[in-house]
Structure 1
């Protein structure tokens, strides 16, 4: 898994999603774009990817598309419409794009495919700038989206990132 942290300026979301699909197909990778405000950190997405792949391997996936399954786990939601809030939309936004070659059996080939896909993504017109977007989580947004209350935060010494990862893991339990 590789991440592209960037600023996007999306004029037409359908066109942008179509472009991501073309890049995904061309490089045989899965691509999912997230609004960076909803991502706690890299491990949040790593955990979502791991759980999504496990669900797919077991035939317990909710979505037919691997990218959508990753989105569902990252959002900790069973309903695609609810999880889409975590995705990117039209306008300017800080984003992170997950690129994963899956288990191709050839680690070098997987990394090469991911790197090639990242190079292609950077060239998309919607990518205004590549810059860190996960360095300081949007705590208020994360607490609201993942329904983490002040009382819950006060009752534990767990970090906000750990609480978000717990919500991601709970999707597995809620099935």
Structure 2
């Protein structure tokens, strides 16, 4: 899985999402863009991707599209329209674009398949960087807006005060709870 931290300037959301889909199709990868305000760290998206792939493999997925299933898990929400709040919108957005070649069938660690997946992810990333809407940025994952994250994931001050779990741990717990709520 590759992450592209960037600033997006989107005029036509439907066209931009279609561009992401076409790039994903060309490189046989899944591409999903997230509003960076709702992502706490890399492990948050890795956990969402793994749980989404597990749900798809079991036939328990909510969405037909892998990118949308990853979004649902990352948001910790069953309803697509509620999860879309974590997606991008028209205008300028600090974003994180997930690029992932589905290697869920590669549990045995086939090196050729893994290398091919990495090459496809890298090629897709390079193509994304050619889009006018994408401006690479410094690390958006280093500055988490705790208030926004806590509000989005319904993490209360009381909950934070009664545990030594990090904010990342609490968000990953919300992501995992989507499995239970099915």
Q: Structure 1 length as normaliser, TM-score?
A: 0.98
For 1:129, the equivalent position in structure 2 comes to 136
For 2:36, the equivalent position in structure 1 comes to 36
Of 15-24 and 126-135, deviating more is 126-135
For 1:66, the equivalent position in structure 2 comes to 66
Indicate which of 156, 175, 178 corresponds to 1:171. 178
Taking the TM superposition and a 5 Å limit, the aligned residue runs for 1:1-175 are 1-103=1-103, 105=106, 106-175=113-182
2: distance between equivalents of 1:51 and 1:88?
Answer: 22
1: distance between equivalents of 2:61 and 2:158?
Answer: 33
Q: Structure 2 length as normaliser, TM-score?
A: 0.94
CA drift of 1:67 comes to 0.2
Runs of 4+ in 1 over 6 A off after TM superposition: none
Query: What is the SS of the residue equivalent to 1:110?
Result: helix
Query: What is the SS of the residue equivalent to 1:31?
Result: strand
CA contact (8 A) 1:7 1:131 kept: no
Cα deviation digits, residues 31-73 of structure 1 (max 9, x gap): 0000000001000000000000000000000000000000000
1: distance between equivalents of 2:25 and 2:178?
Answer: 28
CA contact (8 A) 1:34 1:87 kept: yes
Q: Please give the root-mean-square deviation of Cα atoms over the aligned residues, in Å.
A: 0.9
CA drift of 1:93 comes to 1.1
Which ranges of structure 1 fall in alignment gaps of 5 or more residues?
A: none
CA contact (8 A) 1:34 1:88 kept: yes
1: distance between equivalents of 2:138 and 2:91?
Answer: 17
Which ranges of structure 2 fall in alignment gaps of 5 or more residues?
A: 107-112
